Structure 1
Amino acid sequence: MGKLKGLIEKTESNIINGFYGKSGDKFLTLREFCEQNDVSYMTAVRLYEQLKKKDLIFLYGNNYYILNGIHDGKSELYKAIKHKNSKKIRIGLSIRDISNQFFMALSKEIAQLLKNSNIELIILTSNNDTKYEKKILMDFLHLGCYGVFSFVGYNERDLYNFYSRYPLPFVLIGRKVEDIKTDFISTDNYESGLQVAKYLVNCGYQKFGYIGLKNLNERNDLRFLGYREGLKMLNQDITPKLYLRINIEDNLHSIHNALVREKSPIGMFCYHDLLAVKLLNFCSYNNIHVPKSVGIIGYDDLPITVAVNPSITTFS
């Protein structure tokens, strides 16, 4: 057992240090590993299982491939996938919550965009489970996807490390993550925040608030930073009692008194449309007039913003 443990540690180190090649390159066959390390076939099988559990190698078809480092479009893995799926290009889309209206709407848009193309879109959801998101990424590999679009969560170091070793091309949707060196697609959140501030001030609101996400801190929330800066440029600022960060399931009781007692009209910017709808429902329940007493601005342009009464102004 001690010999196996030492061999596993040595092999892990060699993979991480690039001794066997880069991500997507073929790894040694079991027989080759046995010959190079003078071990039995069963020992090699047990060792490979440990390497697979640690996401350092994986099996695609009849070959093992290295899972370490940023993808290479010329890798042996990529060639194998292209050969196997020469008639249809498969692209994976990893989303965090299919019941979320934003993810649902975006998934439909992407699917519609690719409807008449030679691209087959495979959509899988992790339900905000980091471990399951890793499994999804591996499923995309085994399904022969050419690449992946992914919504990555916030402050998930272990997941970021996994992405940094993923052997397929991938693009992040929604935001850039400094620790992940890849392309990303995002709106200009900071500029949008500036525009929201200007809009609310021009509408005549005199007090201003913001509802953000609890798991997104201020320095990473570009919508908030742009909004606050935009207000300051217009000699305004966010009222502390009208500023909070919540999860979508949390209540809004902490700003109840500020909304009810404030005599001046209040402009509220919400990080996304679902929070804006939550605020609208809260105001309706507490007999707070929208938009006369409280103006609500959402973000993402979800269909629900025109389905509620009154409809919600939204940026995207």
Structure 2
Amino acid sequence: MSSKIPNGKSPTLQDIAAVTGVSPSTISRVLNNSENVKQGIRDKVIQAAGELGYQKVQKQNTEAPENNVIGLIIPDIMNPFFPALIKGIQNTAHFQDYNIILCDSENDTSVAEAQLRQLMISHIRGLIYIPSSEDSGLGEKLVKLPIPVVFLDRKINSDIINYVGSENSEGAYNATRYLLSLGHRDILYLAGEGVLSTEKERYAGFKRAMDEENINIDEDYILSCGYSYEIAFKKVNSWLDKSRKVTAIFASDDLMAYGVLKALKQKKLRCPEDISVMGYDDLPFSDLLSLTTVSQPAYQMGQNAVLLLLDLINKRKAAPQEIILPNSMIIRNTCGKY
């Protein structure tokens, strides 16, 4: 995509059209949240408009304005995966004339419930919610709210929710198949928080790939590290002292993979010559560390969460709805042949 328009000139629909190849009339429909525009075109236009710095001209309205506000509750604002999600949500909401109220529940259900009460007092028109590992039934309560709710990235066990996520199981399956294709059979798996849907799906993908090769998964080759860099470093460091055979380590998120790389360095083990390492998420630092990983479309997930929520608010769609976006393998330098 092109950068912002130079010399302080305000970008126009024609500028967006030049970048995207989409007609100005279609661009106008996207920016006005109209129906009958394909999702791929909608995403392309919104992304280009954000990068060009386009701002809609506000029409004067003598009627009382609607409270175009969306609530967003996330479990941990320090989680490095969430900023791209938030950016996608914020940019997309902005182009649809909506504001965002962001709340960080700090993985505490009582805090999230208090934040929800304040959001409802603020008359939000819809809510985007990322469950925490300590959800404690809050997700089930949200389904009963009088406003639309979209679960993002993580979901609860319910068939009546609206959900936007990515192909966690398929992503982990493809990552494991890649390691197997390199000749690895003794693979240590680092699990995140087992109660979360993301971890359940990723482990299912890992297991499916191993089962296809008739490889038994020894319980000693599964370490629960809670998506934590520090825990992964300590547990892998200790596990390596036991002299078990391992040729590859698959961490179900990049933070844990960073901990693995630190442990290997401390043990003076080479990556990938001695042990290969696979991550998951493709966080910003993963490129700098040349980590082979599975990339999630975080920004696009945020975009789609807002667009789905607006469809529900404006009754263009009826619940339940589900949008699952594909992941992709990013092959760098931490995996080698065995």
TM bucket normalised to smaller: 0.5 to 0.7
**Aligned residue pairs, count:** 232
Match status 1:112 vs 2:91: yes
Look up the SS of the partner of 1:200 in the other structure. Answer: helix
Deviation at 1:263, TM superposition (A): 8.1
Decide which moves more: 101-110 or 231-240. Answer: 231-240
1:314 maps to a residue whose letter is V
Match status 1:314 vs 2:283: no
Match status 1:288 vs 2:269: yes
Structure with larger RCO (C-alpha < 8 A, sep 6+): 2
1:151 maps to a residue whose letter is I
1:295 maps to a residue whose letter is S
Contact 2:171-2:294 within 8 A present in 1 as well: no
The CA distance in 2 between the partners of 1:294 and 1:216, in whole Å, is 29
**Equivalence for 1:207:** 186
* % identity of equivalent residues: 22
Look up the SS of the partner of 1:186 in the other structure. Answer: strand
Contact 1:160-1:180 within 8 A present in 2 as well: no
1:240 to 219, 239, 244: 219
2:115 to 125, 132, 136: 136
* Per-residue Cα deviation, 1:219-258 (whole angstroms, up to 9, x for no partner): 9711101111111202334343331112324254444465
**Equivalence for 1:275:** 256
The equivalences for 1:21-60 within 5 A come to: none
Look up the SS of the partner of 1:122 in the other structure. Answer: strand
1:270 maps to a residue whose letter is A
The equivalences for 1:126-275 within 5 A come to: 126-154=105-133, 156-179=135-158, 181-216=160-195, 221-247=200-226, 248=228, 249-250=230-231, 252-256=233-237, 258-259=239-240, 266-275=247-256
The CA distance in 2 between the partners of 1:233 and 1:251, in whole Å, is 27
Q: Using a 3 Å threshold, how does the CA distance of structure 1 residues 97 and 154 change in structure 2: closer, same or farther?
A: closer
Deviation at 1:262, TM superposition (A): 5.5
**Structure-1-length-normalised TM-score:** 0.65
Contact 1:272-1:298 within 8 A present in 2 as well: yes
2:122 maps to a residue whose letter is L
Q: Using a 3 Å threshold, how does the CA distance of structure 1 residues 259 and 315 change in structure 2: closer, same or farther?
A: farther
Contact 1:150-1:172 within 8 A present in 2 as well: yes
Match status 1:302 vs 2:302: no
Deviation at 1:307, TM superposition (A): 2.6
Give ranges in structure 1 of 5+ residues lacking alignment.
Answer: 1-82
Look up the SS of the partner of 2:271 in the other structure. Answer: coil
Deviation at 1:117, TM superposition (A): 3.0
The CA distance in 1 between the partners of 2:262 and 2:224, in whole Å, is 17
Deviation at 1:173, TM superposition (A): 0.9
The CA distance in 2 between the partners of 1:301 and 1:252, in whole Å, is 19
Contact 1:218-1:224 within 8 A present in 2 as well: no
Give the RMSD, CA atoms, in angstroms: 2.8
The CA distance in 1 between the partners of 2:144 and 2:200, in whole Å, is 27
The CA distance in 2 between the partners of 1:254 and 1:154, in whole Å, is 21
* Per-residue Cα deviation, 1:18-68 (whole angstroms, up to 9, x for no partner): xxxxxxxxxxxxxxxxxxxxxxxxxxxxxxxxxxxxxxxxxxxxxxxxxxx
Q: Using a 3 Å threshold, how does the CA distance of structure 1 residues 293 and 239 change in structure 2: closer, same or farther?
A: farther
**Structure-2-length-normalised TM-score:** 0.61
The CA distance in 1 between the partners of 2:111 and 2:169, in whole Å, is 32
Give ranges in structure 2 of 5+ residues lacking alignment.
Answer: 1-62, 297-338
2:283 maps to a residue whose letter is L
Contact 1:208-1:239 within 8 A present in 2 as well: no
1:266 maps to a residue whose letter is T
Look up the SS of the partner of 2:95 in the other structure. Answer: coil
